[in-house]
Amino acid sequence: MIKNKVKEKLKKGHYSVGTWITIGHAEVCEILSSFAFDWIIFDTEHSPLSIETIQCLMQAMSRSAALPIVRVGWNDQVMIKRALDIGAHGVLIPWVNSGKDAANAVRACKYPPQGIRGCGPRRASKYGLCLNEYIELINEEILVGIQIETEEALNNLDAILSVEGVDVAYVGPMDLSMSLGYPNQLTHPGFKSALQKVVESCKKHDVYAGIHAASAEDFKERVSQGFQFITLLSDCDFLIHGCTEALNKAMGRCVTKGDGCESR
């Protein structure tokens, strides 16, 4: 039955690393989940993945040690419920800007009396074969992640992170930098100050700080800053980086279109 190894790792003070899945093909998920990621996160906010596709992708990674997590499209109890019912071990919920938003997110993830999640866990309970055990354990085992993406959320950090049941506060770097007026300027002093504020507030409230890392160097910096729940690149990034490196080594030039690249 479900045992959330990611939550256990975070509680021990270790960092945990995952990556994003945005491509709806089982082989992509199967390959990436064969590596040393603690979790795989399926993005339904910015990718075209549907709930049916994600269930098939979860089945493709069922033999791996990585846990499936879903970023739902919105702080919506139906979206959250469906993600959990197909077997997600956690959810990442975007655009949480207030204590009320955070409380609604937690309640959507928990069965009564802690929450309002409707009971029909289907694949998550092995199609009912482990229903009682699932219901008994799942409120404690689900990882509830909320996203800090706006200046409003920064101003309400104490109210957001004091909500019981919030496990991870995950910075959306692009959205937060844009909201603060530094679009994609991730080295801007104002943005760095915001990151420090998130990390410090997470420590104060016993919540784990999360963020995306765009490179190995970025990952190491985030760990040094105090982040523990970190996504490293994505399926698309690995394709692009792998192709770019191979072509540069083979041909001495980049043959894709883009900034700094020569077009065919």
- In tens, the pLDDT along 41-85 reads 999 999 999 999 999 999 999 999 999 999 999 999 999 999 999
Q: Give the pLDDT of residue 251.
A: 86
Position with higher pLDDT, 50 vs 261:
50
pLDDT band at 263 (very low <50, low <70, confident <90, very high): very low
pLDDT beyond 90 at 1: no
Nearest-angstrom CA–CA distance, 244 and 248: 6
Give the whole-number percent of the chain exceeding pLDDT 90.
91
Is 244 within the bounds of a domain?
Answer: no
pLDDT digits (tens, 9 = 90+) for 135-146: 999 999 999 999
Stated as kind and residue range, the H or E segment containing 67 is strand 67-71
- For the entire predicted model, the pTM comes to 0.94
Q: Which residues are catalytic?
A: 46
- Angle, CA 117 vertex, CA 52 and CA 227 arms, to 5°: 80
The dihedrals phi and psi of 231, each to the nearest 5 degrees, come to: -90, 135
Nearest-angstrom CA–CA distance, 76 and 59: 24
For 187, the domain range is 5-235
**Residue 123 has what DSSP assignment?**
G
Nearest-angstrom CA–CA distance, 215 and 256: 20
Q: Total domain count for the chain? A: 1
Return the structure tokens found at 117. Answer: 């999640």
pLDDT digits (tens, 9 = 90+) for 28-40: 999 999 999 999 9
Beta-sheet pairing, 143-148 with 39-43: unpaired
Nearest-angstrom CA–CA distance, 245 and 72: 33
Q: Cβ(23)–Cβ(51) under 8 Å?
A: no
Report CA-CA distances (Å) from 77 to 92, 110, 117.
13, 10, 7
Nearest-angstrom CA–CA distance, 4 and 108: 18
pLDDT band at 254 (very low <50, low <70, confident <90, very high): low
Query: Quick one: average pLDDT of 218-245?
Result: 96
CATH label of the domain that carries residue 116:
3.20.20.60
pLDDT digits (tens, 9 = 90+) for 126-174: 999 999 999 999 999 999 999 999 999 999 999 999 999 999 999 999 9
Is 187 within the bounds of a domain?
Answer: yes
Peptide bond into 113 cis (omega under 30): yes
Q: Cβ(68)–Cβ(20) under 8 Å?
A: no
